[in-house]
A = this chain, B = another copy of it.
Amino acid sequence: MTSERRRDPLSGEWRTMATHRQTRTFLPPESSCPLCPTRDAAHPTEVPWPEFDIAVFDNRFPSLTADPPSSQSRPGSPYDVAPSLGATEVIVYSDDHGAALTSLGLDRLQLLVDVWAERYAALGSRDDVEYVFVFENRGEAVGVTLDHPHGQVYAYPEVPPVPARELAVARAHLAEHGTCVLCDVVGAERFAEVRLVAQNDAFLAFVPFAARFPYEVHVVAKRHASSLLDLSDIERRALAAMLHEVVAGYDQLFEFRLPYVMSMHQAPTCDGDWQVISHFHIEFTPVHRSYDRLKYLAGSELGAGAFLNDVMPEQAAADLRAAGTAAAPSAGTPAAGTAAAPAAEPQPAGT
């Protein structure tokens, strides 16, 4: 096993090399799912209990750990290296292999929000952790290797590139305008309405004005909360309800479980004025651009960082609103399906 962090001299970004991940479990059948409960002691899984609500444990193929092999820059080399310090945890949403975020029910979803908050607090309290990143990869189209519903938490030893840039832009906005940029965005979206997908007392869901992905949706706290720890129980329940509504809308519109990456942006856990700069939000980035087409990151996105989007955000929001209205509040488990399934009206693609 080799594991170390290396700083790219061209971009200044830290990257993690972890060769043991190459052999990780790949789409096992349900009968050998490592995230199912241990129902038979002769066949233990990663979760030692016969049943559970939500389970959290260290990733068996970690890229970052609390006690990594030592690694240091070579004398005379222009390259910086560092140990793979941090944490990578798995959060299993249910002991039911076939469950989905939308089938869990509101109480379980609120428990999930509480677990996220607890892991954010626990990992963030470590001196060697500067940023706790909660995320979920869903669906084979984004590379998921285990079907069982689950998310992940990574704890990084520095603020990673995307939130670092976002926080720098927010800091510059505050200096120039005296306001939080995301507070301004919330105000603009509530006023414009055309990109709204859903809202409740505490959260707004909308397709961002300059979306990278056709059906990208941001779930943003209406008031300036900087992390899950700032949210009251009532607000956490509102967040749980909003996550259900967004995902149910996706599944209703596409008529299959829409693959996505869900990324949670919270305040860094190192010293700093993050309460002022950071505004809690969750980004959903599904990779489909229509019922049977994916949005690929190719030359313009990967090489230049310049995103092209084929669907107007206002159109995507209208599609998602219409689907959300059609989705029952307790939608239950949507039928499994694939992108190759026959298209039905309304076609989610743009014009």
**Counting CB contacts under 8 A, is A223 at the interface?**
no
State whether B210 touches A162 (Cβ < 8 A).
no
Q: Give A170-204 as 1s and 0s: 1 = Cβ < 8 Å from B's Cβ atoms.
A: 10010000000110110110001000000000000
Complex Cα distance, B8 from A303, in Å, reads 19
Copies in the complex: 2
Interface segment among A39-47, A93-101, A135-143, A225-233: the answer is A135-143
From A181, A209, A300, A349, residue with most partner B Cβ within 10 Å = A300
**Counting CB contacts under 8 A, is A69 at the interface?**
no
State whether A307 touches B13 (Cβ < 8 A).
yes
Q: Give A221-257 as 1s and 0s: 1 = Cβ < 8 Å from B's Cβ atoms.
A: 0000000000000000000000000000000000000
- Among the listed B7, B16, B311, which residue makes an inter-chain contact with A308, where contact means beta carbons less than 8 Å apart? B16
Look across to chain B and name the residue whose beta carbon is closest to the beta carbon of A136: B299
| CB proximity to B under 8 Å, residues A311-351 | 311-313, 315, 349-351
State whether B310 touches A165 (Cβ < 8 A).
no
Residue tally, chain A, CB below 8 Å to B: 87
What are the residues of chain B within 8 A of A192 when measuring CB–CB?
77
A139–chain B nearest beta-carbon distance, Å = 10
State whether B210 touches A15 (Cβ < 8 A).
yes
**Counting CB contacts under 8 A, is A122 at the interface?**
no
A134–chain B nearest beta-carbon distance, Å = 9
**Counting CB contacts under 8 A, is A263 at the interface?**
yes
State whether A299 touches B261 (Cβ < 8 A).
yes
A216–chain B nearest beta-carbon distance, Å = 11
15 CB < 8 A contacts A-B: A10-B170, A12-B165, A13-B210, A15-B211, A22-B349, A22-B350, A78-B185, A78-B188, A143-B296, A161-B304, A261-B302, A261-B303, A262-B299, A263-B302, A297-B297
User: A-B pairs with the 3 shortest C-beta distances?
Assistant: A143-B296, A263-B303, A161-B305
**With A154-B300, A154-B304 already in contact, 11 other A-B pairs whose C-beta atoms are closer than 8 Å:** A6-B209, A11-B169, A15-B212, A15-B307, A17-B312, A19-B351, A21-B308, A22-B290, A142-B296, A160-B304, A161-B305
